[in-house]
Amino acid sequence: MTKTLLLLPGDGIGPEAMAEVEKLIDVLNAEESAGFETDRGLVGGSAYDAHGAAISEEDMAKAMAADAVLFGAVGGPKWDDVPYDVRPEAGLLRLRKDMELFANLRPAICYPALASASSLRPEVVEGLDILIVRELTGGVYFGEPKEIVDLGNGQKRGIDTQVYDTFEIERIAGVAFELARTRGNKVCSMEKRNVMKSGVLWNEVVTATHKANYSDVELTHMLADAGGMQLVRWPKQFDVIVTDNLFGDMLSDVAAMLTGSLGMLPSASLGAPDPKTGKRKALYEPVHGSAPDIAGQGAANPIAMIASFAMCLRYSFEMVEQADRLERAIAAVLDSGIRTGDIMAEGARQVGTVEMGDAIIAQYRELAG
**Which residues are at the interface with Mn ion (CB under 5 A)?**
249
Residue in 11, 67, 249, 342 annotated catalytic: 249
Closest approach of Cβ 123 to ligand IPM, in Å? 28
Residue in 160, 253, 324, 358 annotated catalytic: 253
Residues 75, 108 contacting (CB under 8 angstroms):
no
129 lines the binding site for ligand NAD (CB under 6 A): no
202 in a labelled binding site:
no
The rounded distance, in Å, linking the Cα atoms of 16 and 22 is 10
Which residues contact residue 177 at a Cβ distance below 8 angstroms, ignoring those fewer than 6 apart? Answer: 187, 209, 210, 213, 214, 217
For residue 274, the 8-state DSSP code is P
298 lines the binding site for ligand NAD (CB under 6 A): no
CA distances from 326 to 111, 263, 268, 310 (A): 14, 17, 16, 6
181 in a labelled binding site:
no
> Side chain identity at 101, as an amino acid letter?
L
Active site residue 141: yes
Active site residue 253: yes
Closer of 91 and 235 to ligand IPM (Cβ): 91
Residue in 141, 164, 315, 364 annotated catalytic: 141
Active site residue 97: no
Closer of 51 and 221 to ligand NAD (Cβ): 51
Closest approach of Cβ 65 to ligand NAD, in Å? 22
Helix (H, G, I), strand (E, B) or coil at 130: strand
292 in a labelled binding site:
yes
Long-range CB pairs of 53-60 (<8 Å, 24+ gap) are 53/86, 53/91, 54/86, 54/87, 54/88, 54/89, 54/90, 54/91, 54/92, 54/94, 55/8, 55/91, 55/94, 55/95, 59/6, 59/8, 60/94, 60/95, 60/98
CA 341, 345, 347, 348: dihedral to nearest 10 degrees?
-40
Q: How many CB atoms lie within 10 A of CB 274?
A: 10
Active site residue 67: no
Closest approach of Cβ 183 to ligand NAD, in Å? 25
Helix (H, G, I), strand (E, B) or coil at 191: strand
Closest approach of Cβ 157 to Mn ion, in Å? 26
Strand partners, 155: none
By a kind-dependent CB cut-off of 5 to 8 A, residue 250 interacts, out of Mn ion, ligand NAD, ligand IPM, none, with none
Closest approach of Cβ 185 to Mn ion, in Å? 28
User: Which one of the spans 26-34, 94-102, 153-161, 298-306 is the region binding ligand NAD (CB under 6 A)?
Assistant: 298-306
The rounded distance, in Å, linking the Cα atoms of 317 and 225 is 37
Residues 237-266, one symbol each (x = binds ligand NAD by CB under 6 A, - = not), give ------------------------xxx---
Active site residue 249: yes
Q: Which residues bind ligand IPM (CB under 6 A)?
A: 89, 92-93, 249, 287
The site for ligand NAD (CB under 6 A) is made up of 13, 73-76, 89, 92, 261-263, 285, 288-294, 300-301, 304, 342
Catalogue the active-site residues. 141, 192, 225, 249, 253
